[in-house]
Amino acid sequence: GQNIDQPTEMTATEGAIVQINCTYQTSGFNGLFWYQQHAGEAPTFLSYNVLDGLEEKGRFSSFLSRSKGYSYLLLKELQMKDSASYLCATNRDDKIIFGKGTRLHILP
Amino acid sequence: DTGVSQNPRHKITKRGQNVTFRCDPISEHNRLYWYRQTLGQGPEFLTYFQNEAQLEKSRLLSDRFSAERPKGSFSTLEIQRTEQGDSAMYLCASSSGTVAYYGYTFGSGTRLTVV
């Protein structure tokens, strides 16, 4: 994706907490999305941040710092079904530009 | 409302053949987007429509690719003279107005394999 950086892979244990970081190019930025994508399936919307701060939605939270061009997705109480790719994406010119995604592996 | 529908789900074609994919968006959504995704990568933007107007095309969209949305409802993506590098998942998405806050709704995609 256009200057969107996130780790390629991460591994965590069932029941634990994991934080997936994302940095992006700040010019032309209008908002930041997180999507979840299971293997062979379409991406599904998780969150959208347009203002600085933390937004919590159940087990998932998303944080944004616009000045730093930084976001993270926090997943709590990990479940096996959370094994998926997590896509950081920016809203630019009213279309979504995706990063390459972070493949999250959950160990029992 | 059955969501975004894409057909076919899978397509295997020989190199050099033409292929066409169809996307039916959510009925009240006026914007329709096409993306391509290869293994281990995020979706790459190809083009998008607002109603029947094609508003933007990525430089990734070579002359062999063409997309239409003739009546502002369904859309087709055609690839002419397919190459092995065209093998990918082609995703369609739709939205009502701006993408802010709710993003897109994606279809299940069409997986193209060029042999």
Q: For residue A81, which phi and psi values (nearest 5 degrees)?
A: -70, -10
> Per-residue pLDDT tens for A2-52?
589 999 999 999 999 999 999 998 887 889 999 999 998 999 999 999 999
Residues of A in contact with B43 (CB under 8 A): 43, 87, 98
Structure token digits, residue B96: 């009502």
Q: Which residues contact A73 (CB under 8 A, 6 or more apart)?
A: A19, A20, A22, A34, A46, A47, A60, A61, A62, A86, A88
Report the sign of the C-alpha dihedral through residues B99, B103, B109, B113, in that order.
positive
Question: Residue A89: its pLDDT value, please?
Answer: 95
Residues of A in contact with B57 (CB under 8 A): none
Residues in chain A: 108
> Per-residue pLDDT tens for B41-86?
999 999 999 999 999 999 878 899 999 999 889 999 999 999 999 9
Structure token digits, residue B102: 């709710």
Q: For residue B86, which phi and psi values (nearest 5 degrees)?
A: -80, -10
Residue B103 is nearest to which of A45, A93, A99, comparing CB atoms?
A45
